[in-house]
Amino acid sequence: MSITREEIVDKLVGLVGEDQVITDADVLQESSVDRFRRFEAFHGVFRLPSPAAVVNVYSAAEVAAVLKFANANRVHVVPRTGHTATEGGLETILENTIVIDGSAMNKIVNIDTENMQATVQCGVPLQVLDDQLREQGYTTGHSPQSKPIAQLGGLVATRSIGQFSTLYGGIEDMVVGLEAVFPDGGITRIKNVPRRAAGPDIRHVVIGNEGALCFITEVTVKIFKYFPENNRFLGYTLDNMKTGFEILREVMVNGYRPSVARLYDVEDGAYHFSHFADGKCVLIFVAEGVKPLADATAGAIQEIVAQYGECEPVEAKLIERWFAHLNWDPANLAEEKTEIMETKNICNTTEISGSWSIINGIYETCMQRVRDEIPDLTLLGGHSSHSYLNGTNLYFVYFYNVVDCKPEEELTKYHLPIKKIIVEETIKAGGSMCHHHGVGKHRTPWIEDEYGSSYYSLDTLKKAFDPNSVRNPGTIIPLEK
């Protein structure tokens, strides 16, 4: 069954009303991309088909009506909340897609301090929820750099992680229950309980689905008591990353849980901590919680680090100052555009994870290969920012000047070849190609290698929940699959 662009818009207007169906050409064009293509977008180059409409939804019932219509008519849909995606998850790669925007579903439904959980609609910005909680002495513990803009629906859909993850975990550790709408319009509610053993945990069908299986309409997350007055800040400079990984491992395997545990290499360290890094790697910890716990954690970390002669302590105030400016400031968006347009210098990143025994090898191999194979780099660095009992992540950061090519060639000349090196070397070593930004549309070529023999389960999930392949096509699973 094929349906025209005009018929799609008419039908949507009938379902939710004219004022909720946006067909303005500029809005549609901006809605065809996310930050992955920002260099092209800044230059006014839009190569993907504009969606037929952006539909603003206000309830699960509206989402269900739109999805049911789309599914019945084989119309593709891309869900959206904060629009901070970095891996092409929001790209509309097929003609006449509908973008369903949940950011108007922005009610904080309930803050339950007895059961330590908060329920919000998908469009609540994390900053809004956390500010409200902090006024009452609580926090979500979730602090991705995109906190001011990212919203709970997208944060759950991408399996996001925040800067205090070593204590509070990733979003998968925080989600208690949720509500989501599947392509046939069926509304699923997963109740809020402390734990369950009634078969597989189907929260994980929804968490990380990147819009490829369902639309998340409501989320319940844990909340924690907030004791900022007890925060302890520790910082060190050191000669090499290998020592830093060893220290992170010592801290984690001995059971300490600082909220922040970060290790920067020389170039990334110089970029973030120019006032004290002095050509060295930088190691940072923040211990938080009730005072005895924060003090014990900080004391134990100091003891561990003292065993490594190359570590020089840094004044705690310098780390505290850094901590006060953790997050992305949306006010800088215009500035970022001007700077990139003027300098043709742009920053991109790729994040992966690996166990302790392979992480330094991945770091060294990727750094060497990117340096050898990619032209026009102006900064190549990396840091570990999320540690676990059995390993850690690496966040590769690269700036390059876009030289001798059209805006639309930036990706194929620089960002994608760098990503390819990092992803391939990580998978080869036995790590995960994707630590927290999602697969989006640009890590799909390696999805089968990432999953190995478990790819069967992923493929079966997609076929079962999205039999007509209408949900965010080309995301997580490549289009041709």
Q: What angle do CA 301, 324, 118 make, to 5 degrees?
A: 90
| 380 vs 368: CA distance, rounded Å | 10
Q: Does 85 bind ligand FAD (CB under 6 A)?
A: yes
Size of the site for ligand FAD (CB under 6 A): 37
Binding mask 21-60 for ligand FAD (x = CB under 6 A): -------------xx-------------------------
Nearest approach, Cβ of 440 to ligand FAD (angstroms)? 7
Q: Does 262 bind ligand FAD (CB under 6 A)?
A: no
Task: Give yes or no for a contact between 214 and 180, defined as CB atoms under 8 angstroms apart.
Answer: yes
Structure tokens at 394: 């690496």
Q: Does 413 bind ligand FAD (CB under 6 A)?
A: no
Q: Report DSSP state, residue 412.
A: I
Answer for which of 8, 65, 75, 122 binds ligand FAD (CB under 6 A) is: 122
Q: Report DSSP state, residue 446.
A: G
Longest CA span, the chain: 70
| 99 vs 215: CA distance, rounded Å | 11
Answer for which of 90, 120, 248, 281 binds ligand FAD (CB under 6 A) is: 90
Residue type at position 272 = H
6 CB burial (10 A radius; 0-12, 13-18, 19+): exposed
Which segment (38-46, 207-215, 369-377, 417-425) binds ligand FAD by CB under 6 A? 207-215
Q: Does 169 bind ligand FAD (CB under 6 A)?
A: no
User: Which residues, listed in sequence order, are joined to residue 222 by a DSSP beta bridge?
Assistant: 117
| 383 vs 371: CA distance, rounded Å | 16
Nearest approach, Cβ of 261 to ligand FAD (angstroms)? 15
Nearest approach, Cβ of 148 to ligand FAD (angstroms)? 9
- Residue 67 or 304: the one with the smaller Cβ distance to ligand FAD is 67
Nearest approach, Cβ of 319 to ligand FAD (angstroms)? 18
Nearest approach, Cβ of 438 to ligand FAD (angstroms)? 6
Nearest approach, Cβ of 88 to ligand FAD (angstroms)? 8
Per-residue CA distances from 419 to 275, 296, 408, 443 (Å): 30, 40, 17, 8
The site for ligand FAD (CB under 6 A) is made up of 34-35, 78-86, 89-90, 102, 122, 144-146, 150-151, 153-155, 157-158, 160-161, 210-211, 215-216, 328, 436-438, 472, 475
